[in-house]
Amino acid sequence: MKLEKLKFVLPNLFTVTSIFCGFYALTLCSGEPSPAQLYQAALAIFFAMFFDGFDGRVARLTRTQSQFGVELDSLADVISFGVAPAMLVYKWALAPLGFIGLFVAFLYAACGALRLARFNVMSRRAVGSRFFVGLPIPLAAGVIVSVVIAHYLTRGRELGTGARVPYLVVVTVLSLLMVSTLRYRTFKDLRLTAASLSIFGAVCVAGVVIATRLHPAYVLVVYFCAYLALGFVESGLWLSRHLHARSVQPAVGVLPDEDEAEADDEQDFL
């Protein structure tokens, strides 16, 4: 009986650890943090991503999925990938910009919360979709974290004045992508095939080339940015295919077979 109870506690421990990492990042960003403290805060959020990625898998392996765990995971994401990255990027780049910097940092946190609320509502009526609607908040946090880590490891100093406005634009774009209807692949349907192994090998080779030619710190930046671009490509291809299907069958109103399982997701996209 005790073993059964421990099985239910285990995935929630991963989630709570993710919350701790986000909270620790917030403490590092408080006051007037040094570049080293901001780097440590970025690492803490990165570790939060690790624990967040495993809590659901542990729950599925132990067959202890529950609505409580789903809600706890969303609350953890708000802290670790919403509030903590917003505070990090505010202290790192946006604070000298005054009210507009404060507003954009808040915009990121607010859009992250809206993104999670929409995901919770959609997950109750659409199970097993191959795509997220909008950029997942851990991936948005990953872009911010990877840039902060790369800057510290390659420059090791405070961000220059001229680079603050571009990062203001980047954070704004990330915020809007989270509440957008762009489709981002979940990779839940990924299988070990020759094609998937080839793609994985190409990704690894690209990472090695970037690490050796530029700097290892840039590998994460490129990976996260590539996922951002993948959302635009996937959404463009789907929209093109969907419009073509409607033009060919204007009166039938039936989606192609490969899209039938995603009907709810596509309705939200439109």
Q: Which two tokens stand for residue 23?
A: 């909270």
Range of the domain at 252: 2-269
pLDDT tens for the 270 residues of the chain, in order: 455 666 677 788 889 999 999 999 999 999 899 999 999 999 999 999 999 888 777 777 777 777 888 888 889 999 999 999 999 999 999 999 999 999 999 999 999 999 999 888 877 665 556 778 889 999 999 999 999 999 999 987 777 777 889 999 999 999 999 999 888 887 666 667 777 778 778 888 888 999 898 888 899 999 999 989 888 888 887 777 777 777 776 544 444 444 444 434 433 333
Which residues fall within 8 angstroms of residue 56, CB to CB, at 6 or more apart?
11, 65, 73
Helix (H, G, I), strand (E, B) or coil at 131: strand
Measured N-to-C along each axis, helices 35-62 and 137-154 cross at an angle, to the nearest 10 degrees, of 140
Which residues fall within 8 angstroms of residue 102, CB to CB, at 6 or more apart?
90, 94, 95
Strand partners for 183: 133
State the pTM of this model.
0.84
CATH of the domain at 93: 1.20.120.1760
The domain tally of the chain equals: 1
Phi, then psi, of 257 in degrees rounded to 5: -55, -40
Q: Annotate 153-218 with DSSP letters as a single string.
A: HHT-SPPPGGGHHHHHHHHHHHHHHHTS--EEE--TT----HHHHHHHHHHHHHHHHHHHHT-THH
